Structure 1
Amino acid sequence: MAGPTTTAERGERRQESSGPPLVRRLRNRRFRRIVIPVLAVVLLGSGSGWLLYGSPWLRVRHVSVSGTAVLTPGQVLAAAGVPVGAPMVSVDTDGIEVRLRRELPRIDAVDVVRSWPHGIGLKVVERTPVLLIEKGGNFIEVDKGGVRFATVSRAPEGVPALELSLSRSGSATASLRRFGTDRLVREAVEVARALPAAVRRDTRTLKVRSYDDISLELGGGQVVEWGSSENGAAKARTLTALMKAASGARHFDVSVPTAPASSAS
């Protein structure tokens, strides 16, 4: 016959009977809290990956072109080489931009954008000629940055011709040796950009003899001595005022804008 059970013995029995199952339950709950979210993330990631890369839904079905003026949308599409049918997420937009600028130098900038769920948009900005260089019966177009980007058989209207009339004089030879032809072309571009709008529209030829000897030949036979490309804004203002004050003059000199001159011949 068992003796009386003490309070200490009863406490030990309760601890023995309740301890291990309680620990197991706590461990199971902790395991579920960790494993179930991990499994959910894995399943969600697998589903998203399949949706983006493996499903037939988010794939390139059409490509649009905007912003063309001289180029045709067909030319842009052919040069872009967008992989129709490929997953939208896998399209290399940077690579397409680089390829377009390389294949079509007339393109100054292009933005390739995804239009979910099935479209790719090609937003093009074309270069605009500010000067023309005649060569072999054709015309080389030069943009505002001095880039020679295209050769055309017909001169665009309203774009002045650039004439490099580099004489063999000492100053012209030194100018060519120091700056080079490309630099002189860029100087001519700066002059063309600085011209007042009315004068720019009427300019037929922009003649470069040296770095600081650039002149304009206008449609009415008038000549403007511009000098270098420096102080372009001041020269433009002076020329506008001078042409109003001496409307019958044929020759204008704004090479030194603070001391302009005009004459009838």
Structure 2
Amino acid sequence: LHDAEPHLAAGLAGGVLYPQDAQVQPALAAAHLLRASGARLHLGAEVTAVLRGPGGAVRGVRTPRGDLLAPAVVNATGTWAGELAALAGVTVPVLPRRGFVLVTEPLPRVVRRKVYAADYVADVASDSAALQTSAVVEGTPAGPVLIGASRERVGFDRTLSVEVIRRLAARAAALFPVLAGVRVMRAYQGFRPYLPDHLPAIGPDPRAPGLLHACGHEGAGIGLAPATGQLIAAALTATPAPLDAAPFRPDRFVERSPA
């Protein structure tokens, strides 16, 4: 461990190194994908209704700037996917799961890669709505160290939580004692789109023909986006999918009456 990360705390039992692990800058990746797609953007145009035809099929969306007609609508609205689904008269129980990140002052290369404690895996898989924190510490080429990770279901509350910041800082310093005297320059939060079974909703919604969902990836959306896109493209073009999409059926949360 000392050879891989010289500033890790002493006495740790061991670790796992993923030499082929890769990362991507989400904003840049999204910009490149949009540019490559050739899509026409309507920025800042809120969807206020999902338009339905006489037979109930989805035929577009309504915005304050006018209707956008299309033979299919893809619900890829992240944490707000449940709200858009409701406009189409269906339920996809996406909930926001808030998380904070701390950003330190620029430092020499004290953290070489992304390092997380094993309890992070358990937190990701947890169904608890209560606050959970685990150490995720990541060095950056520019110098600041990024510190996470927290999870809690508090709706869309953007209030800065001193308790969360305190816990994240303490856990990071326990993993990397060198960070104990480092200044945190800022903190920010976001909302992960959470589904109860921790699997995304991907594919056509049989309750609303013409509506497809691509949402509920929680914290893994940027990594799973290309595969999600392939599944959506296969559904739209009626071609074979690269994998079985049955576990991601958007209507799997519908309560069934007992036989």
Bucket of the pairwise TM-score, normalised by the shorter protein: under 0.3
Higher-Rg member (1/2): 1
**TM-score of the aligned structures, taking structure 1 as reference length:** 0.21
**TM-score of the aligned structures, taking structure 2 as reference length:** 0.22
Which one has a larger percent helix, Structure 1 or Structure 2? 1
